Amino acid sequence: MIVESTTAQSLPQGELVEGRLVLWYFAAALGYLFLSMLGGILMALQLIDANPLVGIEYLSPGRWRMIHTNAVAYGFLANAFLGGLHWSIPRLTLRPVASRALSYFIFVAWQVVVLSTAVGIMFGQAQGVEWGETPVWIDPLALAGLALVAVNFMVPIVRTKGPLYVTLWYFMAAFIWTFLTYAMGNFVPQYLVSGTSAGAVGGLFIHDLVGLFVTPLGWGLMYYFVPILLKKPIWSHGLSLVGFWGLAFFYPLNGIHHFLYTPIPMFLQYGAIMATIAVEMVVTTVIINFFATIWGSTSELKTNIPLRWFYTGMVLYFVTCLQCAMQTTLTFQALIHFSDWVVGHAHLVMFGVFSMWLLGIMTYLIPRLLHKPWYSRQLCEWHYWLSAAGIVVMFTDLTLAGIFQGFYWGSLQEWDVSVAGSQNFWVVRLFAGLAMFSGLLVFLYNIYRTLLSPPGQPAELSQTPASKYATS
């Protein structure tokens, strides 16, 4: 599966990739991650009754929580993914995006959408849908933006001759799925259905946003970057296609598995359980494929920091999926329903997996985009270890908190008893979050000092497409 090229192969690096735009997207992503983590810490302080913003309506915990989740999804993840797409698609197809002017327009328009969402939430205009809180007047603009993103990236992909590398399969699917998922979650519950039906659609929307927007883009980028960093092809193209088609066929119904024991019809709940079991098997094949790829090169994890970010995220992805398998059993769901287990699960997948991958990509690309080595490799190590330790402590702590809360509620004790019993867990959660936030500050300081450092030896920029390493 070699990507063929014609005259585009002779294009110089600067005409293929708009490096400045990739940097802008990464800068915006890190800015939103900073705001999101700040909101998370405020929420953690609220839980232990130490909110420093008491009495300020516009900065009340309920609004900060929504800004926290929206800034992660549409601010950090979306911007970081767009930066990664602007780097990887032109290099995989050996063709530039459809229009660089459109790329810059999308960049500005998307920041307007994210910032307007935050302002709308602060002024109380949020919709009652998790991750779909965007004010109703922003939804059409966001959907138009997603359509423009798809057009801009699909043009070079469609013009590519010959079989497409699996990364491009994932990207094409993500462009279509994200558009449809966003429309489903933001328009159907708002205008077309209500009550239990709206709850079911909302459940699908939340989960599908993870599985059909974040997951295909994340795995697509891993299929691109891992072979390049290891300088060898992916272990099995057959398994990579099993992973892609398994995600396409079995993931869409999974979201209902968070709504067991609700008025949603049982046939839908059982369908979600069966689909989740199928996805677990698919996930196992993907994990096997990537760990077989690194087999014989595991010593690189000690020295190659971006690769360490990637594989840490993969291990935590497998843990996330194991949690999914457990919570789809009715017996276990009865224990952890609505508890902090779910909160820990959400943080594990969004930070422990996809943020890990994206921060690893930034660690790899930023020196190459700036044509300077990192100011301090030691600070890169601190960033990794503070982030990894923080998320492992956080999800372990919240997982245990959820189990304890389930037993408190099951024993029919007063609500206050469960709140008092959760206090120690919430204190640990705060310090874990502070560790992750400290890691981000270290990363931002390292970027700042790298920008100020004198020009050095430009980092090596390989023109070799990932498909070369991915062919056997």
pLDDT at 11 over 60: no
**Structural contact between residues 280 and 272, judged by C-beta atoms closer than 8 angstroms:** no
Single-letter amino acid code for the residue at 377: R
Asked whether the CA dihedral 38, 41, 43, 45 is positive or negative, the reply is negative
Cβ atoms 286, 243 nearer than 8 A: yes
* Segment 221-242 mean pLDDT: 94
Asked if pLDDT for residue 472 goes beyond 50, the answer is no
* Burial class of residue 301 (count of CB atoms within 10 Å of its CB; 0-12, 13-18, 19+): middle
The per-residue pLDDT of the chain, averaged, comes to: 89
SS3 337: coil
- Render pLDDT for 99-129 as a digit per residue (tens, 0 to 9): 999 999 999 999 999 999 999 999 988 887 7
Of 362, 429, 425, whose CA–CA distance to 391 is shortest? 429
Those residues with Cβ within 8 angstroms of residue 3's Cβ, 6 or more apart along the chain or in another chain: 92, 93, 94, 160, 162, 163, 164, 165, 465, 467
DSSP-derived secondary structure letter, 165:
P
CA distance 256 to 88: 34
Per-residue pLDDT tens for 22-34?
999 999 999 999 9
pLDDT at 2: 38
Look at residue 196 and tell me whether its pLDDT is greater than 90.
no
Q: What is the residue whose two structure tokens read 């935590």?
A: 316
Q: What is the DSSP string of 184-211?
A: HHHHIIIII--HHHHHHHHHHHHHHIII
pLDDT in tens, 344-387: 999 999 999 999 999 999 999 999 999 999 999 999 999 999 99
- Rounded to whole angstroms, the Cα distance separating 91 from 80 reads 17
The SS3 of residue 55 is coil
| Predicted confidence band of residue 264 (pLDDT cuts 50, 70, 90) | confident
Write the pLDDT tens digit of every residue in 139-163: 999 999 999 999 999 999 999 988 8
Q: Is a pLDDT exceeding 50 seen at residue 460?
A: no
First to last CA, the chain: 9
CA 94, CA 88: separation in Å to the nearest integer?
A: 10
Output the DSSP codes for 82-120.
HHHHHHHHHHHHTS--S-HHHHHHHHHHHHHHHHHHHHH
Instruction: Name every residue whose Cβ is closer than 8 Å to that of residue 26 and which is 6 or more positions away in sequence.
Output: 79, 80, 83, 362, 365, 366
Read off the pTM: 0.92
Q: For residues 460, 463, 465 and 470, what is the CA-based torsion angle, rounded to 10 degrees? A: -40
Q: What is the pLDDT of residue 5?
A: 41
Neighbours of 331 (CB within 10 A): 7
Both tokens of 146, joined, read: 């997603």
- Mean pLDDT value of segment 408-433: 95
